[in-house]
Structure 1
Amino acid sequence: MEGYAEGEFHLDTSKVKIEMGACETRLCPAGREVVSYGNNNVIGNISADNIKKEFCYWFYVILPRQIQELPQPSSTFASNCFSDNVDLECTYTIDGLNRLKSTGLKMTIWVLYGIFKEENLSFSPNLDYGGLQSQMDRYGILTVEVSGTVHKGNSCIGRFEHTFELVRSPTKGTFEIKSAKLIMHK
């Protein structure tokens, strides 16, 4: 999209994007301010629906592609997209019950690296029919909930629910992922 340098996707009070360092471009239009009107979340003329779709495209398409190119996990990769104390929780019951919790940017990048590169999992989010929802609360926390199917190679191995909490950084003015909770099951 026009007006952004390659590798940017911000959710900002003046621009709708999350910085991605050297990542690929997929962005919302610039120059919009986040405004919450009761149950309607609007960023200028951009609705929360547009933000959640752009965020999903970044997380489920661009981020995995970028992780596949990494020789090893790096805490500087995507560091502008996650808060330093990000919480990540993964629960999966595909081959028995497994639960993984991590706190901090470095551990989160390692977990995502394991999911997308080592396990070679891919996610197909349901962007319609209630599979994608978002809401901004009175504290300014944007919650994005995504449901869909999880795949390994050409095989569908189950379903997933993913909940993200995005918070605005007071120093950068951009939204960052504060927490992510992933549940995968058959």
Structure 2
Amino acid sequence: MSGLSETERAGCRMILKLLSNIDLLSLSDTVTNKMIVVENVAEATETILSFSKNAEELLRRKKVQRELIFKYLAKEGVAMPPNSEKHQLVKRTLALWSSGKATDAESRQEETDGTKGRRATETASDIQVSKVDVGFDPQVLGQQFCQWFFQLLNSQNPSLGQQPQDWGPQHFWPDVKLRLLSRAGSEQMDEFLGAELVSLRLLALPRAERLLLCPNLEPHGLRTLASPHGLVLVAVAGTIHRDAACLGIFELIFGLIRSPLENNTWKIKFVNLKIRGQDAVEGSEVAAPALSYNSSELQLLYS
């Protein structure tokens, strides 16, 4: 009899879905000491869940790599440092499950299946703003891109009570890079590479940290540059809020490149995000934050 609670079973099932078929079948053999032969991955998953003594034992299995647990936590809105060791991720996952705040996997799947067709229609009108034909005026592109991006990102914040829009790695190039610099008391720099990790880390801002990013789309808060090679830089400043409190300001630089294989949709190649807490800025800056980057500094990013 499995020692997993229903919440733990749902969470473990989501993590097991991240394993390759080969690793999943191998893990089933390990858990059962090859005493049970399974016919497919569905049987392997249920066998692993049924014969695991407890959730911690399953999470500590070699096949359940730290990267898989990290991805699961990020999808649940739990932001963890990218250099976290596996035992730290296991401990945080068990705490999440015991708190009862984990998303139910079956309910999430039902919601996904039930809204897939509707969201496909939404993406045609809302998300495709990122590839609007603007006669290629970089400034117009920058304004429309920022309106689309921040509406999409902020919709993930549960405190707004909105239906989250279709956020995900599909909006990024596979080798996208995120550089996150935060100055709130102390300075911290983190880097993330790859569409899934970058997407998940940015998602954690509104979902886990309950932040709202409000861009300043006036001329002193938004600047765009286009290189001769197709890269467009969009730099924008804005304020960061949680509920009614203004926590500080941000400066965000996007590198955008068209994807010829996806109807020339603009996709994100890199993201540089700098966050300053309110104790690190002047009050006048918070009211209407302006970019600290000039055109010459932005052009250095072309190289």
The one-letter code matched in structure 2 to 1:165 is: G
Which among 173, 179, 182 is matched to residue 270 of structure 2?
179
TM-score by length of 1: 0.71
Matches within 5 A, 1:19-168: 28=132, 32=133, 43-44=134-135, 47-66=137-156, 68=158, 77-168=167-258
| Cα RMSD after superposing both structures | 2.3
Partners of 1:77 and 1:159 lie apart in 2 by 23
Task: Determine the structure 2 residue equivalent to 1:38.
Answer: none
Structure ranking higher in helix proportion: 2
The one-letter code matched in structure 2 to 1:109 is: S
Identical-residue share of aligned pairs (%): 26
Partners of 1:176 and 1:118 lie apart in 2 by 24
Task: Determine the structure 1 residue equivalent to 2:122.
Answer: 6
Contact residue 18 and residue 80 of structure 1 kept, 8 A: no
The one-letter code matched in structure 2 to 1:88 is: L
Structure ranking higher in strand proportion: 1
Contact residue 94 and residue 157 of structure 1 kept, 8 A: no
Contact residue 18 and residue 81 of structure 1 kept, 8 A: no
Which runs of 5 or more residues in structure 1 are unaligned?
Answer: 11-16, 20-27, 33-42, 71-75
Report the CA distance between 1:97 and its aligned residue. Answer: 1.5
Q: Deviations over 1:154-186 (max 9, x none)?
A: 111111110000012232222210000000113
Partners of 2:193 and 2:208 lie apart in 1 by 20
Q: Deviations over 1:29-73 (max 9, x none)?
A: xxx4xxxxxxxxxx42x6322221111111112232146566xxx
State the structure with bigger RCO (CA 8 A, min sep 6), 1 or 2: 1
Which runs of 5 or more residues in structure 2 are unaligned?
Answer: 1-119, 278-303
Which among 130, 134, 146 is matched to residue 18 of structure 1?
130
Report the CA distance between 1:79 and its aligned residue. Answer: 3.0
Larger-Rg structure: 2
Partners of 1:18 and 1:54 lie apart in 2 by 7
Contact residue 236 and residue 253 of structure 2 kept, 8 A: yes
Contact residue 175 and residue 195 of structure 2 kept, 8 A: yes
Partners of 2:122 and 2:173 lie apart in 1 by 22
